[in-house]
Amino acid sequence: MSHLTLGPFTVHPTGVLEPRRTGLRPALRFAWRGRPVQAELAEDAVRIATIAARIPSTAEPGADRRGALAALASLPGHLPEGWRLRLLPDHRISLEAERPLGTPPTAVRLITELVRFALALDPYLDRLESAGAGAPGTAKT
Protein backbone atom coordinates (compact mmCIF):
# COMPACT_ATOMS: atom_id res chain seq x y z
CA MET A 1 0.00 0.00 0.00
CA SER A 2 1.42 3.41 -0.91
CA HIS A 3 1.76 6.53 1.18
CA LEU A 4 -0.49 9.57 0.67
CA THR A 5 0.41 13.23 0.85
CA LEU A 6 -1.64 15.61 3.00
CA GLY A 7 -0.15 19.10 2.75
CA PRO A 8 3.26 18.99 4.44
CA PHE A 9 2.73 15.42 5.69
CA THR A 10 3.19 11.91 4.50
CA VAL A 11 0.28 9.73 5.60
CA HIS A 12 1.34 6.15 6.16
CA PRO A 13 -1.03 3.27 5.36
CA THR A 14 -1.82 3.07 9.09
CA GLY A 15 -2.93 6.73 9.06
CA VAL A 16 0.08 8.03 10.99
CA LEU A 17 1.25 11.52 9.98
CA GLU A 18 4.90 12.23 9.38
CA PRO A 19 6.29 15.64 8.37
CA ARG A 20 7.76 15.48 4.86
CA ARG A 21 10.59 17.81 5.79
CA THR A 22 12.53 17.80 9.03
CA GLY A 23 13.21 20.98 10.97
CA LEU A 24 10.04 22.75 9.88
CA ARG A 25 6.83 23.30 11.82
CA PRO A 26 4.30 21.52 9.64
CA ALA A 27 1.01 23.36 9.18
CA LEU A 28 -2.15 23.09 7.15
CA ARG A 29 -3.95 26.19 5.93
CA PHE A 30 -7.53 26.45 4.73
CA ALA A 31 -10.35 28.97 4.65
CA TRP A 32 -13.58 28.74 6.62
CA ARG A 33 -16.34 31.22 5.77
CA GLY A 34 -13.76 33.45 4.11
CA ARG A 35 -11.40 33.41 7.08
CA PRO A 36 -7.87 32.06 7.03
CA VAL A 37 -7.35 29.11 9.39
CA GLN A 38 -3.97 27.63 10.23
CA ALA A 39 -3.36 24.35 12.01
CA GLU A 40 0.15 23.68 13.34
CA LEU A 41 1.24 20.36 14.72
CA ALA A 42 2.98 20.37 18.07
CA GLU A 43 4.35 17.22 19.74
CA ASP A 44 1.02 15.57 20.54
CA ALA A 45 -1.45 18.36 19.78
CA VAL A 46 -2.67 20.64 17.04
CA ARG A 47 -2.79 24.43 17.46
CA ILE A 48 -5.57 25.95 15.38
CA ALA A 49 -5.96 29.69 14.84
CA THR A 50 -8.10 31.96 12.71
CA ILE A 51 -8.66 35.63 12.14
CA ALA A 52 -12.37 35.63 12.95
CA ALA A 53 -13.25 39.26 12.32
CA ARG A 54 -12.07 42.84 12.35
CA ILE A 55 -13.29 45.71 14.50
CA PRO A 56 -14.29 48.51 12.11
CA SER A 57 -12.27 51.69 12.03
CA THR A 58 -13.67 55.00 13.23
CA ALA A 59 -12.96 56.24 9.70
CA GLU A 60 -15.46 53.80 8.18
CA PRO A 61 -18.76 55.60 7.65
CA GLY A 62 -21.75 53.83 9.14
CA ALA A 63 -19.65 51.24 10.98
CA ASP A 64 -20.98 50.06 14.34
CA ARG A 65 -17.67 50.06 16.18
CA ARG A 66 -19.36 50.25 19.59
CA GLY A 67 -21.51 47.19 18.84
CA ALA A 68 -18.53 45.26 17.52
CA LEU A 69 -16.50 46.05 20.65
CA ALA A 70 -19.42 45.02 22.89
CA ALA A 71 -19.71 41.70 21.05
CA LEU A 72 -15.97 41.17 21.40
CA ALA A 73 -16.11 41.89 25.14
CA SER A 74 -18.92 39.34 25.61
CA LEU A 75 -17.14 36.45 23.86
CA PRO A 76 -14.58 35.22 26.42
CA GLY A 77 -17.22 33.87 28.80
CA HIS A 78 -18.87 31.88 26.02
CA LEU A 79 -15.88 30.30 24.28
CA PRO A 80 -15.23 26.55 24.55
CA GLU A 81 -12.73 25.46 27.18
CA GLY A 82 -9.17 25.98 26.02
CA TRP A 83 -10.00 28.59 23.38
CA ARG A 84 -8.23 31.95 23.45
CA LEU A 85 -9.38 35.26 22.06
CA ARG A 86 -6.97 38.06 21.16
CA LEU A 87 -7.52 41.54 19.78
CA LEU A 88 -4.51 42.23 17.57
CA PRO A 89 -2.97 45.71 17.19
CA ASP A 90 -4.53 46.11 13.73
CA HIS A 91 -8.03 45.45 15.22
CA ARG A 92 -8.31 41.92 13.90
CA ILE A 93 -9.81 39.35 16.24
CA SER A 94 -7.93 36.07 16.59
CA LEU A 95 -9.50 32.89 17.96
CA GLU A 96 -7.16 30.05 18.87
CA ALA A 97 -7.43 26.56 20.31
CA GLU A 98 -5.13 23.68 21.09
CA ARG A 99 -6.44 20.13 20.85
CA PRO A 100 -4.71 16.84 21.71
CA LEU A 101 -3.95 14.48 18.83
CA GLY A 102 -2.40 11.60 20.70
CA THR A 103 0.83 9.83 19.88
CA PRO A 104 1.44 9.16 17.13
CA PRO A 105 -0.76 11.75 15.43
CA THR A 106 -3.00 10.41 12.68
CA ALA A 107 -4.65 12.01 9.68
CA VAL A 108 -8.11 11.04 10.97
CA ARG A 109 -7.53 12.73 14.35
CA LEU A 110 -6.13 15.85 12.66
CA ILE A 111 -9.03 16.23 10.22
CA THR A 112 -11.53 15.52 13.02
CA GLU A 113 -10.11 18.34 15.15
CA LEU A 114 -10.09 20.77 12.20
CA VAL A 115 -13.75 20.05 11.45
CA ARG A 116 -14.70 20.35 15.13
CA PHE A 117 -12.96 23.72 15.34
CA ALA A 118 -14.63 25.04 12.20
CA LEU A 119 -18.11 23.94 13.28
CA ALA A 120 -17.66 25.29 16.81
CA LEU A 121 -16.43 28.59 15.35
CA ASP A 122 -19.64 29.32 13.40
CA PRO A 123 -21.79 30.79 16.21
CA TYR A 124 -18.98 33.17 17.21
CA LEU A 125 -18.54 34.34 13.62
CA ASP A 126 -22.31 34.90 13.42
CA ARG A 127 -22.28 36.90 16.67
CA LEU A 128 -19.37 39.07 15.55
CA GLU A 129 -20.82 39.66 12.08
CA SER A 130 -24.26 40.61 13.42
CA ALA A 131 -22.60 43.14 15.76
CA GLY A 132 -20.71 44.84 12.93
CA ALA A 133 -17.32 43.10 13.18
CA GLY A 134 -16.92 41.85 9.63
CA ALA A 135 -14.63 39.30 8.10
CA PRO A 136 -11.00 40.42 7.99
CA GLY A 137 -10.23 42.45 4.91
CA THR A 138 -13.78 43.78 4.59
CA ALA A 139 -14.72 47.36 5.18
CA LYS A 140 -17.89 49.34 4.54
CA THR A 141 -17.46 52.04 1.96
pLDDT on residue 117: 96
pLDDT on residue 132: 86
Mean pLDDT, to the nearest integer, of 69-90?
93
Residue pair 77/26 in contact (Cβ under 8 Å)? The answer is: no
pLDDT reading at 141 higher than 50? no
Give the tens place of pLDDT for each residue, 2-39.
778 877 778 888 888 887 777 667 888 999 999 999 99
CA 124 to chain centre: 12
Q: Is the dihedral of CA 95, 65, 68, 52 positive or negative?
A: negative
Helix or strand holding residue 35 (H, E): strand 35-41
pLDDT reading at 112 higher than 60? yes
What pTM was computed for the model? 0.83
Side-chain-side CA neighbours of 65 within 13 Å: the count stands at 10
Q: Is the dihedral of CA 80, 86, 90, 91 positive or negative?
A: positive
Q: Which architecture, in CATH terms, is 4-130?
A: 2-Layer Sandwich (3.30)
